Structure 1
């Protein structure tokens, strides 16, 4: 047996706006995000970057102006062989010039994930660039993962211990699901074990899809799983 801390890490670090109360809320959020998403493969050399208000970077080649997320900025730096940590310390205009210099010598393509910004603000782009990945990147959408889980496992729920909004997490970068089945324990000799699983995914290349089912002895209020096997 072993103790698992994956769910505890999610519970301890996720901000409130990345937590969901029920499995009914998560597919709505991830589904809306997929419907607002566009995938586009473009030459790196054709990308144009500009400094935006507040020190952010925007992308505008032959497409509508889009604001880069921090994660997308890091990915683009990797493709341009540029140090993201250092560029983050520079004024946006200079960082844009450095990145354009890096990608100008790259003859490859990149797959861009663009999401329409749901909160429209004056003088800000309507689109968000969420990821730069390789053209061959096979994207698994979070909403498809959630729907498959809901269809396959109908008697599992997020843990009811540990406070509100535990077990279901999603951000602009990744997703993590922790479901338990306490009402139908598995008997092994004189012991009774609950059934549960972790599932995680990323639409942006931050992680690969993963699923870990296991039996467990106890889950405490801070989401540490004790006696898993």
Structure 2
């Protein structure tokens, strides 16, 4: 089993203004960003850095750089960002003016929102909007929700900042039995509209999520990611397949679990006390617990598998040591598999 820490890492690098309580509020934020954004194609000689480090795009002055677009501009100029930050605005603008390519014939792809420049890319970059990924989640996983609020009392696992988006979603009603143990489905979804990270998805089945958003005991972990190149939208089909596969498997397992319960409510474990006692003893259940459980089950009229599992679940709560109680609960839980063999 794997321990997944991607959501845990996101938790401790996000500020409160990047946290969203619900999937819908995250989606609205991403939709608003998309509507207000504008892609501009500007030739290198039409991009000019002014004396106060604002930027002129063609004939339009006074665009401001944010931290990410400033970093990108420094990389294009092949000047270290920390070096530029140590200079006065006037000297820094002169340094960028002299080092930025100005004779190239391929345009820059510049994403602006109002008077702010969100990102600067060359022609090889292909933008993928956050909503394009979230639309897939809405289509196939509308009943998935964020996990419990994290230990900071604010973070829900849904984040969107000026550089990227991240969503952590689980199905709290999707628990199913896999090899005698209980698991629920979940997935991570991430993207950057400004080239800060890849786009991708990771699906899994888990047993526990702690308040630090560490996913414990994960199995069937599937991951897909793609860089923002010309074929990045082909990756949307892969993301759709990965999430759809998780949903299909969840439905199959949930239906199988429901059928198992129904059968357990019909099938008798034994026809008399002696036979029931013998079968449960072979499964490792202590005799004193069996006798107490049989008394409870008898009140429901029959020794069905479900009635006995329910009764044993009640009597194991009397076991004082937590370790022993956990061991007994595991044995009792596996009794449901007897319904499938019946």
| CA drift at 1:226 | 0.8
| CA drift at 1:97 | 1.0
The higher relative CO (CA closer than 8 Å, separation ≥ 6) is in 1
Instruction: Name the structure 1 match of 2:98.
Output: 101
- Return the index of the structure with the highest Cα Rg: 2
Instruction: Name the structure 1 match of 2:71.
Output: 74
The two structures, once aligned, show a CA RMSD in angstroms of 1.5
- Asked if the contact 1:22/1:165 (under 8 Å) is kept, the reply is no
| CA drift at 1:138 | 1.0
Structure 1 residues 91-146: Cα deviation after superposition (integer angstroms, max 9, x where no partner): 11211111111114551431101012xxxxxxxxxx11010111131101112222
Give, in whole Å, the separation in 2 of the partners of 1:106 and 1:191.
64
- Asked if the contact 2:185/2:205 (under 8 Å) is kept, the reply is yes
1:218 aligns with 2:215: no
1:27 aligns with 2:27: yes
| CA drift at 1:228 | 1.3
Give, in whole Å, the separation in 2 of the partners of 1:38 and 1:147.
21
SS state at 1:182 partner = coil
Instruction: Name the structure 1 match of 2:145.
Output: 157
- Asked if the contact 2:51/2:94 (under 8 Å) is kept, the reply is no
- Counterparts of 1:103-118 in structure 2, within 5 Å, are 103-105=100-102, 107=104, 108-116=106-114
- Counterparts of 1:1-229 in structure 2, within 5 Å, are 1-52=1-52, 57-62=53-58, 63-105=60-102, 107=104, 108-116=106-114, 127-162=115-150, 163-229=153-219
Structure 1 residues 11-57: Cα deviation after superposition (integer angstroms, max 9, x where no partner): 122110000010111111111111111111212222111244xxxx3
> Structure 1 runs of 4+ off > 4 angstroms?
none
TM-score (norm 2): 0.60
| Runs (5+) with no aligned partner, structure 2 | 220-342
Give, in whole Å, the separation in 2 of the partners of 1:111 and 1:8.
33
- Asked if the contact 1:159/1:179 (under 8 Å) is kept, the reply is yes
SS state at 2:75 partner = helix
SS state at 2:169 partner = strand
SS state at 1:222 partner = coil
SS state at 1:13 partner = coil
SS state at 1:183 partner = coil
Give, in whole Å, the separation in 1 of the partners of 2:48 and 2:19.
35
Give, in whole Å, the separation in 2 of the partners of 1:161 and 1:36.
30
Give, in whole Å, the separation in 2 of the partners of 1:181 and 1:51.
53
| CA drift at 1:165 | 3.6
Count of residue correspondences = 215
- Asked if the contact 2:190/2:199 (under 8 Å) is kept, the reply is yes
